[in-house]
């Protein structure tokens, strides 16, 4: 369990909140709001991976987009290398824009179908940069393609001529073209086949080592997140319910939701599977429009008490930087 040294922290999220207004009527009167992200705080160490895990509707993708200001958060702060970029005007943000990149989930929708690979990478390389000669640009394009494991001949290809795994690699090349320092990876392997997933995960790890990248890895697949992240944040209905080191995840998780999530994920260890205790959750994930009062998990929690219904638990450190938001642990 390492302590986070302040100057090693590349990203600090403080009390981040994202409310989507629900409007009704001709004049778009707001009658309620969806608390997609509700008071999230965490830190990311430089050169490491922070995994954000949870089921659909928990707000992990929205958090990723708020960090990069693709969506404008309604409250809270995002500090990049100590600089508050939350409300920074677009002009000022430009200098940091290229250092913060994203890799998207859908390998089909994340590439412009009318742009060839080289045209796409050229665009990424040349915007707002000092003018380079065509030769330099071409060289860099080929470097990038090789870096992500693609054949240089693929630079003439269009997205529809590439497979899912190849498209994802191209998306990574585009992000790398901007010389990023922090990359938010939004479910980058969920849409891929098992054997291709493994290739792309290895690619992510190799790039992190070679280029000293920091990742915020958003996914719903616990096994993938445990594999690639050093620190994991578990989200439920817009709240962070547990933050812990990934090595603690399987044996030492404390929050009832984390435990249920772990139990629900089948592994390929045959004998372990047969002897596992299975925790089955009742009910469905509630809609974020009608979030329960107090602790968001209490309707489905075996250990819920009166306090859980009324008071929302805070994330507190239970020792060794293991943070849990629960009254009963």
Partner 1 sequence: MSEHLGKDITMEEWVKLESKRRRKDAAKQFFRIFFGRGWLSKCCLVVLVVFILAAVFCPLLTVYSPYEQSLIDALQGPSREHLLGTDNLGRDLLTRTMYGARISLCTGLLSSLIAMVIGVTLGLIAGYFGKFVSGVIMRVVDAQLSIPPLILTMCLAAIFGGSILSISIIIGISSVPMYVRMVYGQVLSLRENDYVAAADLIGQNKLKIMFKHLLPNCFATIIVLFTGNVGISIMIEAGLAYLGIGITAPTPAWGTMVSEGYNYFMFKPALALVPGIALMLLIISLNIVGDGLRDALDPRLRGKL
Partner 2 sequence: MGERLLEVKNLRTSFFTVAGEVKAVNGISYYLDKQEIIAIVGESGCGKSVSQKSMVQLIQMPPGKILGGEVLFEGKNLLDYAPTSKEIQSVRGAGISFIFQEPMTALNPVYTVGNQLVEVIRNHKKCSKAEAWKIGVQALRDVAIPDPEKRMRNYPFELSGGMRQRILIAICVACNSKVIIADEPTTALDVTIQAQVMELLQQIVERKKTSLVIVTHNLGLVTRYAQRIYVMYAGRIIESGTTEELITKPRHPYTKGLLNSVPKLDQTGSEKLIPIDGTPPSLVNLPDQCAFLPRCPYACDKCRNSMFPELRSVEGENHFVACHRDIVEDRT
Q: Which residues bind partner 1 (CB under 8 A)?
A: 68, 70, 94, 97-98, 100-102, 104-106, 109-115, 118, 123-124, 127-128, 138, 142, 152-153, 155-156, 158-161, 171, 174, 177-178
Sign of the CA dihedral running 109, 115, 121, 124:
negative
Q: Give the C-alpha separation, 216 to 214, whole Å.
A: 7
Beta carbon nearer to partner 1, 123 or 212: 123
Min. distance of Cβ 81 from partner 2 in angstroms?
26
Q: Residue 281 binds which entry of partner 2, partner 1, none, with Cβ cut-offs from 5 to 8 Å by kind?
A: partner 2
Min. distance of Cβ 86 from partner 2 in angstroms?
30
Residue 160 engages partner 2 in binding (rule: CB under 8 A): no
Burial environment of residue 205 by CB neighbours within 10 A (0 to 12, 13 to 18, 19 or more):
middle
Among 21, 109, 266, 320, binds partner 2 (CB under 8 A): 266
Q: What DSSP line would sit under 153-207, residue for residue?
A: GGGG--GGGS-HHHHHHHHHHHHHTT--SEEEEESTTTTS-HHHHHHHHHHHHHH
Residue 281 engages partner 2 in binding (rule: CB under 8 A): yes
Q: Are the C-beta atoms of 58 and 291 separated by less than 8 Å? A: no
Q: Residue 178 binds which entry of partner 2, partner 1, none, with Cβ cut-offs from 5 to 8 Å by kind?
A: partner 1
Q: Residue 14 binds which entry of partner 1, partner 2, none, with Cβ cut-offs from 5 to 8 Å by kind?
A: none
Taking residues 176 to 195 in sequence order and writing x for each that binds partner 2 by CB under 8 A, - otherwise, the string is: -----------------xxx
Among 55, 106, 142, 143, binds partner 2 (CB under 8 A): 55
Contacts 24+ apart (CB under 8 A), 244-248: 244/321, 244/322, 244/323, 245/1, 245/320, 245/321, 245/322, 246/51, 248/322
Q: Are the C-beta atoms of 297 and 259 separated by less than 8 Å? A: no
Site for partner 2 in 231-250 (CB under 8 A): 247, 249-250
Min. distance of Cβ 160 from partner 1 in angstroms?
3
Q: Residue 167 binds which entry of partner 1, partner 2, none, with Cβ cut-offs from 5 to 8 Å by kind?
A: none
- 21 CB-near residues (< 8 Å, 6+ apart): 30, 32, 33
Min. distance of Cβ 118 from partner 1 in angstroms?
8
Q: Residue 262 binds which entry of partner 2, partner 1, none, with Cβ cut-offs from 5 to 8 Å by kind?
A: partner 2
Among 154, 201, 291, 304, binds partner 2 (CB under 8 A): 201
Q: Give the C-alpha separation, 157 to 314, whole Å.
A: 51
Q: Give the C-alpha separation, 29 to 115, whole Å.
A: 41
Beta carbon nearer to partner 1, 9 or 152: 152
Q: Residue 247 binds which entry of partner 2, partner 1, none, with Cβ cut-offs from 5 to 8 Å by kind?
A: partner 2
Following CA atoms 172, 177, 180, 184 in sequence, which dihedral angle do they give, to the nearest 10 degrees? -30
């Amino acid at each position: 369990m390492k302590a986070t040294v302040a100057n090693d922290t590349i990203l600090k999220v403080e009390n981040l909140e994202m409310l989507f207004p629900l409007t009704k009527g001709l004049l778009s009167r707001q009658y309620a709001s969806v608390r997609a992200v509700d008071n999230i705080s965490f830190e990311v160490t430089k050169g490491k991976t922070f995994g954000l895990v949870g089921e659909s509707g928990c707000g992990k993708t929205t958090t990723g987009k708020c960090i990069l200001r693709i969506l404008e958060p309604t409250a809270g702060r995002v500090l990049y290398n100590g600089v508050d970029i939350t409300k920074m005007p677009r002009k000022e943000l430009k200098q940091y824009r290229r250092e913060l990149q994203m890799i998207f989930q859908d390998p089909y929708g994340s590439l412009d179908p009318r742009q060839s690979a080289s045209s796409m990478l050229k665009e990424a390389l040349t915007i707002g940069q000092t003018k380079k000669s065509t030769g330099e640009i071409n060289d860099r394009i080929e470097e990038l393609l090789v870096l992500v494991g693609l054949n240089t001949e693929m630079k003439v290809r269009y997205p529809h001529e590439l497979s899912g795994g190849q498209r994802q690699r191209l998306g990574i090349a585009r992000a790398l073209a901007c010389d990023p320092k922090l990359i938010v990876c939004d479910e980058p392997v969920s849409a891929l086949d098992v054997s291709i997933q493994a290739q792309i995960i290895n690619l992510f790890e190799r790039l992190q080592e070679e280029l000293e990248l920091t990742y915020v890895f958003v996914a719903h697949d616990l096994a993938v997140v445990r594999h690639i992240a050093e620190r994991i944040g578990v989200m439920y209905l817009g709240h962070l319910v547990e933050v812990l080191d990934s090595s603690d995840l399987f044996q030492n998780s404390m929050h009832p939701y984390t435990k249920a999530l772990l139990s629900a994920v089948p592994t390929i260890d045959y004998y372990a599977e047969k002897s596992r205790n299975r925790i089955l959750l009742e009910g469905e994930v509630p809609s974020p429009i009608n979030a329960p009062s107090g602790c968001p998990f209490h309707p489905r929690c075996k250990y819920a008490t009166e306090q859980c219904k009324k008071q929302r638990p805070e994330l507190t450190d239970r020792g060794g930087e293991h943070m849990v938001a629960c009254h009963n642990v």
